[in-house]
């Protein structure tokens, strides 16, 4: 009996050791438990750490997002691709970050930005609903991307077109006679006017067989 009672504590000890070892051998690519959301100001410290010593996917992704915010786009892209090879194709956040790194690193268009921004809204909502873990860094990346988008040539072209159309607009139904004169059609070459008990009807005749019809000084019809 004494021998059996002395063996029991030893067996319990070995069971505890085995349990601890099994917990240490968790899938190295598992998501880390959420404790706090990293902030942009944390990136300086995060980037000083050794990425090779990071075992959790979330830690690596945080590192990559800090690389993006530090203008190290290709390093971030390489890291995200490496993580993708480990965890597979289906991670929405990772795919978004890979495309974001490409967006920053090469010539881009405003249209590409709008597509990425739509994906951002979906991912941000999904992670916020779960735990809010990535929101602060993601939000900063989005702000950086938005600023870059406003520098693209096609965005500048859109602004130029909008300013031109605001200054040199085409005539539209509902405009006043004065607004039509300031439009791209300008002054008519001829005005046919009819006055009745109901008011004044006008037909403005333009070159190229174009006409504008007004009732009491307001455009009601345009013929081209």
Secondary structure of residue 31 in the 3-state scheme: coil
Please give the pLDDT value at position 22.
44
What is residue 129's predicted lDDT score, i.e. its pLDDT?
A: 47
- φ, ψ (nearest 5 deg) of residue 131: -160, -10
Q: What's the length of the chain?
A: 224
Phi, psi of 175 (to 5 degrees): -70, 160
What token pair was written down for 202? 């006008």
Structure tokens at 129: 């609903």
Q: What is the 3-state secondary structure (H, E, C) of 53-90?
A: HCCCHHHHHHHHHHHHHCCCHHHHHHHHHHHHHHHCCC
Q: For the chain, where are the alpha helices, taking DSSP H only? A: 2-24, 43-46, 57-69, 73-87, 92-105, 110-130, 135-149, 153-167, 177-181
Task: Name residues of the chain where pLDDT drops below 70.
Answer: 1-37, 107, 126-135
Residue 7's pLDDT is what?
59
Q: Let me know: does 74 contact 51? Beta carbons within 8 Å.
A: no
State how far the Cα of 59 lies from the Cα of 66, in Å rounded to an integer. 11
DSSP at 140: H
Burial of 70-81, coded b for 16+ CB within 10 Å and e otherwise, reads eebbebbbebbe
Q: What is the pLDDT of residues 38-72, one digit of tens each?
A: 778 888 998 998 888 887 888 898 899 999 999 99
Which CATH topology does 169-223 take? Beta-lactamase Inhibitory Protein; Chain:B, domain 1 (3.30.1450)
Looking at residue 27, its pLDDT comes to 43
Strand partners, 213: 203, 221
Coil/strand/helix, residue 210: strand
Domain edges within the chain? 31-157, 169-223
Q: What is the pLDDT of residue 193?
A: 96
Give bridge partners of residue 203 from the DSSP assignment. 192, 213
């Amino acid at each position: 009996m004494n021998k059996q009672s002395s063996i029991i504590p030893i067996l319990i000890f070995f069971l505890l050791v085995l349990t601890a070892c099994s917990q240490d051998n968790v899938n190295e690519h598992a998501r880390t438990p959420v404790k706090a959301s990293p902030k942009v100001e944390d990136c300086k410290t995060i980037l000083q750490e050794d990425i090779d010593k990071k075992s959790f996917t979330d830690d690596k992704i945080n590192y990559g997002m800090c690389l993006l915010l530090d203008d190290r786009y290709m390093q971030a892209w390489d890291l995200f691709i490496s993580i993708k090879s480990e965890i597979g194709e289906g991670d929405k956040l990772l795919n978004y970050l890979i495309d974001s790194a490409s967006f920053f690193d090469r010539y881009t268009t405003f249209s590409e930005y709008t597509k990425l921004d739509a994906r951002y809204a979906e991912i941000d909502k999904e992670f916020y609903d779960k735990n809010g873990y990535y929101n602060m860094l993601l939000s900063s990346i989005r702000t950086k991307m938005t600023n870059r988008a406003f520098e693209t040539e096609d965005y500048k072209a859109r602004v130029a077109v909008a300013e031109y159309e605001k200054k040199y607009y085409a005539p539209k139904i509902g405009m006043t006679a004065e607004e039509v004169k300031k439009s791209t059609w300008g002054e008519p070459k001829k005005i046919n006017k009819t006055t009745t008990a109901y008011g004044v009807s006008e037909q403005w005749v333009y070159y190229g067989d174009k006409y504008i019809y007004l009732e009491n000084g307001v455009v009601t019809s345009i013929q081209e």
